[in-house]
Structures are given as C-alpha cells and as structure tokens.
Amino acid sequence: MSEIIHRSNTRPVRVGDLTIGGSNELFIQSMTTTKTHDVEATVAEILRLEEAGCQIVRVACPDERAAYSIGEIKKRINIPLVVDIHFDYKLALIAIEQGADKIRINPGNIGRKEKVEAVVNAAKAKGIPIRIGVNAGSLEKKFLEKYGYPTADGMVESALHHIKILEDLDFHDIIVSMKASDVNLAIEAYQKASKAFDYPLHLGITESGTLFAGSIKSAAGLGTLLSMGIGNTMRVSLSADPVEEIKVARELLKVFGLSSNAATLISCPTCGRIEIDLISIANEVEEYISHIKAPIKVAVLGCAVNGPGEAREADIGIAGARGEGLLFRKGKTVRKVPEETMVEELKIEIDKIASEYFAK
C-alpha cells in the first residue's frame, strides 16, 4: 500500500471564490460540450451543471469568438469559469481580460519568452491561476524519446518543465493535471506528481468512454487516488451529457466520505426474501435524495429479516414486510407504515432529518 499523502500538504490556490488545495475539500469540475461562442447554449448548460452540483466549469477556447464570449458567460453563471487554451497566447490574454477565473495553458507550448511573460503578467495582475495540463497522449517529444513511450516519469518531468517556466517568472498560483486514458499510468503519474511538487492536483482519467464503461474506469482510477488522499479538484470525463459526469463524481466522493453536501442511498441487492418492489422504490428514492444537500444516509431494504440491522448506519430507512414497511432510524424500528404510503412517509422523514441537519 502506498504512503498516504494528505491534501493539506498542497499549496492553496484561489479560483474565483473557491480556494483549491490546502485543507479545503475536493471540488467537482466539468467541461461544457457547447460551442463557447454560443453564449445562450453555453450558459444554459453551465446552469444545468450548477444545479447538478458542479463547482467549477471549464470551457474550450479555440478562437477569438470564444475568447470574447467569456465576459458575457461569466456575468450569467455562479461558479468559477476556467478557460481552456492551446498554444495561442493572444486568446489567453483576451480570456484573462474578459474575466476568466483560471486559464488552462501549458507555458512551454506558448512559444517566445515575451509571450509567456505577457500571459503570466496578465494572470498575476488579475490574481488568477494557471493550470498546467500534462496529457500522456500529447507528451512532448523529448520526454517520449527519453523513455520510448508515455511514462509516469516522463509526465512528471513534463509537468516540472512547465512549472519551472512559471516559477522562473515568480508565478506560483499553479494547478497541475496528469491525465492519461490508461488507468494504471494515470495513477502512477499522479502518485509521483504528488511527491514531486506541492501544487494542487486536478484529477482526471481522460477519454474514459461512455456513461457505463467510463464511470467504472473513472471510479477505478480516481477512486484509487482519492483513497490515497490525492486530488484537489476532479473531473469524471464521459462521452455523455456532462450532468452525468457530476452525478458520477458526487457518488465517488460520497464513497470516500469526501462529500459534505449530498445524501447517500443504501439499498439491498434483493433476494428470495424480498417483500416489496425494491428496485423501483430504490430508484425513486435515489432521485428524491439527489436534491438533498445534507450528508444523510437513507436505506431501502427488501425485507426486515436482515434489513434494519444491515443498514445500521442509515439515518432513516424502510424495510419491506408483508403488505407494509418498517420505518427505522439508526437500525431501530420507529413504526410500521402501509405499503401504499411507505415511500411518501419515507420522503417526509428524509426532509425532517435534512432540516434537523441544517438546524444544527
């Protein structure tokens, strides 16, 4: 088992009204799929992402039209906006001037020193950070030639190369990502990076695939890193509606006890003892609690034989019984409820417990 590295070891970096790194919680990030110059569509997508729990959003900035849209987009959203730029320092300058909260650009790819300095000075003047995005698929030639293929060491050397350019200009508001679509490579690269420098790490398994396969791949890679205490922001990359990325990310954070604003569902796999239509009830309750912003646990169990005892940690739950349900709190039965109304009664109890949490 690898050594546990605490998130509090990382340098705090401000992005909009959030502080990333230090002892702060891990923030969920996503990226829009719209054309950034289409302000209406981009804002609409970002507002949907916010509603789902997205805390930082990134937009692509391939041209001037996109760069000049940043100001208008910023005015109409409520979470920090990261602007993704490849190579073109002029786009970076426009995006910064338009009010980007962070830019993602690799300083080593900008070109002449004066251009790098211009971007760094503009970022300094606005107090915004720069994310260095190392990607195994686009590693610089010199690191590929040194190792023959993309390796974790090559990725860390690439990150250090870009970091040095910024540090030499006395710029330290840096966030780094070490993405790879190969899960083992990404894990090794992030582990090595977490020991090589103390800048916050943005986690991602790139090109991970569709909703089903990509969620599993991301959970395997990102979950391993989270279990080691690595990561300050995270994106689950899926070939799907980005709202799905947020749902998966939130679920993953809940698994590791890293979410302070989401409810968790515990439901049994069902077996021959089942007394209620558990699968549809579990889906209905899952949808209901997805809007609850308190870290409570809700259980839905098919029978009362092992039910309440198996879900002792649940704040509230129901277990099926013949023609009725048992409502229980912390493993203890509270009362019996008729089958027809048990889901509604559970929802009322969930709301009560959530408001108790906020009243604390």
Nearer to ligand SF4, 322 or 360 (CB): 322
- The sign of the dihedral angle between the CA atoms of 183, 188, 193, 194 is positive
Report helix, strand or coil for 52. helix
266 lines the binding site for ligand SF4 (CB under 6 A): no
Question: Is 61 known to sit in a ligand binding site?
Answer: no
Q: Shortest Cβ distance from residue 309 to ligand SF4 (Å)?
A: 9
Give the rounded distance of the alpha carbon of 321 from its chain centre.
Answer: 39
Count interface residues toward ligand SF4 (CB under 6 A).
Answer: 12
Nearer to ligand SF4, 66 or 301 (CB): 301
How far apart are alpha carbons 31 and 119 in whole angstroms?
A: 22
Question: Is 303 known to sit in a ligand binding site?
Answer: yes
270 lines the binding site for ligand SF4 (CB under 6 A): yes
* Cβ–Cβ < 8 Å for 278, 272: no
How far apart are alpha carbons 132 and 150 in whole angstroms?
A: 17
Q: Shortest Cβ distance from residue 326 to ligand SF4 (Å)?
A: 11
> By Cβ distance, which residue is nearest to ligand SF4?
302
299 lines the binding site for ligand SF4 (CB under 6 A): no
Return the residue of 18, 118, 183, 274 that touches ligand SF4, per CB under 6 A.
Answer: 274
269 lines the binding site for ligand SF4 (CB under 6 A): yes
Q: Shortest Cβ distance from residue 78 to ligand SF4 (Å)?
A: 41
Nearer to ligand SF4, 273 or 329 (CB): 273
Return the residue of 303, 326, 342, 354 that touches ligand SF4, per CB under 6 A.
Answer: 303
Question: Is 271 known to sit in a ligand binding site?
Answer: yes
Smallest CA-to-CA distance from 264 within 234, 294, 243, 242 is with 294
| 79-87, 99-107, 204-212, 295-303 -> range binding ligand SF4 (CB under 6 A) | 295-303
268 lines the binding site for ligand SF4 (CB under 6 A): yes
What DSSP assignment string belongs to 144-188?
Answer: HHHHSS--HHHHHHHHHHHHHHHHHTT---EEEEEEBSSHHHHHH
Long-range contacts of 352-358 (CB under 8 A, 24+ apart): 353/294, 353/296, 353/315, 353/316, 354/263, 354/292, 354/293, 354/294, 354/296, 357/294, 357/295, 357/296, 358/294
Instruction: Measure CA of the first residue to CA of the last residue in the chain; give whole Å.
Output: 38
Binding residues: 268, 271, 303, 310
Interacting residue ranges for ligand SF4, rule: CB under 6 A: 268-271, 273-274, 301-303, 305-307
Annotated binding-site members for [4Fe-4S] cluster? 268, 271, 303, 310
